[in-house]
């Protein structure tokens, strides 16, 4: 993992070499910090904890954006702060715990599996803490109970697995209305007022213009696959990871039914 980079005052992002997974830290008062989606390998988590300690920061609250294995991790070194996720995300994490642990075990050996997915349900409009306001934008696009975090003071949107420059939209095809859920999520993210930086769960931090570009690409992708046209998405190339091409094919087949 690369070390923490300040993307806005008091907002730090580290990016793992594993799928460009981001971890976000928001600096609060008296050395406390909010940690969002700490990821992803055991070495990444150890490095993150060491860097927080070196900066005199102590996690006082955690947030998981959604119930996929690479977004529900933690380590002993990060301490025993309460960790939260949206209610639907907690329900899915509990119901699908075996699959989540399996994903973590295979892709990132050495993680403390006892700490994987141990979030409490939070049904609120913001994360309860004494740092900068951290508003929650909850929807069911990509995964049930997907909770993006918007920091109005710094204009940073931590988007979870949406708004990526390296991943196509990945729908929750097991849902009743995957397309409607995804579009609702996009609309909610697009209507966050005063976004200056977007932090995707995987990929690179972008500015407001880049957020609009990504949302337009996402809309075009969804329009293409739902109308049987070639996706022509620049994020989908022969060099894309195999899992993403498999997901794309699955999504195309889903809308052919």
What residues line the site for Zn ion (CB under 5 A)?
68, 161
Using CA atoms, how far apart are residues 90 and 185, in angstroms rounded to an integer? Answer: 18
| Least separation in angstroms between CB 148 and Zn ion | 12
Looking at the Cβ atoms of 132 and 178, the one nearer to Zn ion is 178
Using CA atoms, how far apart are residues 71 and 117, in angstroms rounded to an integer? Answer: 8
Looking at the Cβ atoms of 71 and 83, the one nearer to Zn ion is 71
Kind and range of the H or E run holding 254: helix 242-256
| Residue bearing tokens 């910090």 | 33
Q: C-alpha distances in angstroms, 116 versus 18, 73, 168? A: 18, 5, 26
Looking at the Cβ atoms of 154 and 251, the one nearer to Zn ion is 251
Nearest Cα residue to 64 out of 81, 52, 46: 81
Looking at the Cβ atoms of 37 and 233, the one nearer to Zn ion is 37
Looking at the Cβ atoms of 16 and 154, the one nearer to Zn ion is 16
| Least separation in angstroms between CB 164 and Zn ion | 10
What are the backbone angles phi and psi of residue 3, rounded to the nearest 5°? -75, 170
Looking at the Cβ atoms of 69 and 150, the one nearer to Zn ion is 69
| Least separation in angstroms between CB 202 and Zn ion | 8
Looking at the Cβ atoms of 68 and 139, the one nearer to Zn ion is 68
Provide the token pair at 80.
């025993």
| Least separation in angstroms between CB 150 and Zn ion | 19
Using CA atoms, how far apart are residues 229 and 213, in angstroms rounded to an integer? Answer: 20
| Max Cα-Cα span within the chain | 55
| Least separation in angstroms between CB 32 and Zn ion | 27
Would you give the DSSP letter of residue 60?
A: E
Using CA atoms, how far apart are residues 233 and 210, in angstroms rounded to an integer? Answer: 16
| Least separation in angstroms between CB 228 and Zn ion | 26
Would you give the DSSP letter of residue 202?
A: B
Contact 34, 60 (CB under 8 A): yes
Alpha helices (runs of H) in 108-236, residue ranges in sequence order? 178-190, 208-226
| Least separation in angstroms between CB 142 and Zn ion | 6
Cis bond upstream, residue 92 (ω within 30) = no
């Amino acid at each position: 993992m690369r070390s923490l980079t300040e993307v806005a005052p008091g907002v730090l992002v580290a990016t793992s070499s594993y799928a460009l997974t981001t971890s976000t830290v928001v600096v609060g008062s008296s050395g406390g910090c909010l940690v969002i989606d700490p990821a992803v390998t055991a070495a990444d988590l150890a490095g993150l904890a060491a860097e927080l300690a070196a900066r005199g920061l102590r996690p006082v609250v955690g947030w998981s954006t959604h119930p996929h294995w690479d977004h529900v991790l933690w380590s002993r070194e990060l301490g025993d702060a309460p960790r939260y996720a949206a209610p639907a995300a907690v329900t899915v994490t509990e119901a699908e715990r075996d699959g989540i642990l399996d994903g973590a075990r295979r892709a990132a050996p050495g993680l403390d599996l006892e700490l994987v997915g141990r979030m409490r349900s939070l049904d609120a409009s913001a994360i309860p803490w004494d740092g900068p306001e951290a508003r929650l934008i909850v929807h069911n696009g990509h995964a049930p109970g997907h909770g993006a975090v918007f920091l109005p003071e710094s204009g940073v949107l931590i988007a979870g697995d949406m708004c990526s420059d390296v991943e196509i939209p990945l729908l929750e095809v097991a849902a009743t209305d995957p397309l409607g859920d995804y579009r609702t999520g996009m609309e909610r993210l697009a209507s966050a007022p005063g976004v200056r930086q977007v932090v995707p769960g995987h990929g690179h931090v972008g500015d407001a213009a880049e957020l609009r570009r990504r949302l337009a690409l996402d809309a075009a992708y969804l329009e293409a696959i739902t109308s049987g046209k070639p996706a022509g998405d620049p994020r989908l190339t022969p060099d894309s990871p195999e899992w993403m091409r498999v997901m794309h094919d699955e999504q195309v087949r889903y809308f052919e039914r």
